[in-house]
Chains A and B, each alone.
Chain A
Amino acid sequence: NAGVTQTPKFQVLKTGQSMTLQCAQDMNHNSMYWYRQDPGMGLRLIYYSASEGTTDKGEVPNGYNVSRLNKREFSLRLESAAPSQTSVYFCASTKGPLNTEAFFGQGTRLTVV
């Protein structure tokens, strides 16, 4: 049982480049999330999807877009990467209506130079 799978695990981008972080879960969960984690800042919510077909902004959505492609997949896109987006990105999913145990992917370490 893979749980939550994120790709890629590592990425280096040049300023202005675009990329999409992929996330897939095989637990039939309804809700999915994208967080970023920076030293001393904890986990900050970028976007979330309560259910298939819906997405909502979190605490720090600027510079990002998301797509809930289907129930399994929730992608995060950086249209024009900036050094301030250097971070570790975590995808997570929960079974129920946003208030149950969250399962996390292993993270994507992104560096923008």
Chain B
Amino acid sequence: RKEVEQDPGPFNVPEGATVAFNCTYSNSASQSFFWYRQDCRKEPKLLMSVYSSGNEDGRFTAQLNRASQYISLLIRDSKLSDSATYLCVPNQAGTALIFGKGTTLSVSS
């Protein structure tokens, strides 16, 4: 099983839609979790950090399910500017950051 697995998409949604991505991870010792956003031909930037069961920041909600070893990202009221690739990073202290391949979101008007 790969260390981090994400549905590559693309997810094509209209403006205003709610969309959710899942990320499964194999290392049960992972303690912290991150979602990064990467725009086309740009560097990844941190979107959200998750250290417990979940985190919410405006239209974005991350939920962690340790029993099933997945973390989800929910985006409500999608905007055109949300179009990007979303990268999942589960991490265990003392190990290097291993990124998922990312899920591509395209929001259309």
Binding site for B on A (CB under 8 A): 33, 35, 40-43, 45, 48, 50, 56, 58-59, 88, 90, 92, 94, 97-102, 104-107
Contacts and interface: CB of A to CB of B under 8 A. Distances in A.
B91 A99 contact: yes
Interface residues of B, dominant DSSP:
loop
Given A99-B94, A106-B43, A107-B43, A42 B99 contact: yes
A101 B34 CA distance: 8
B45 A104 contact: yes
Nearest to A92: B97
5 contacts: A33-B97, A35-B99, A45-B98, A100-B32, A106-B43
B10 to A, nearest CB: 12
Interface of B: 8, 31-32, 34, 36, 41-46, 49, 87, 89, 91-102
Contact of A97 (B94, B99, B100): B94
B28 to A, nearest CB: 15
Contact of A58 (B44, B87, B96): B96
A105 B95 contact: no
Contacts of A105: 43
Contact of B95 (A98, A101, A106): A98
Nearest to B96: A48
Contact of B94 (A45, A98, A102): A98
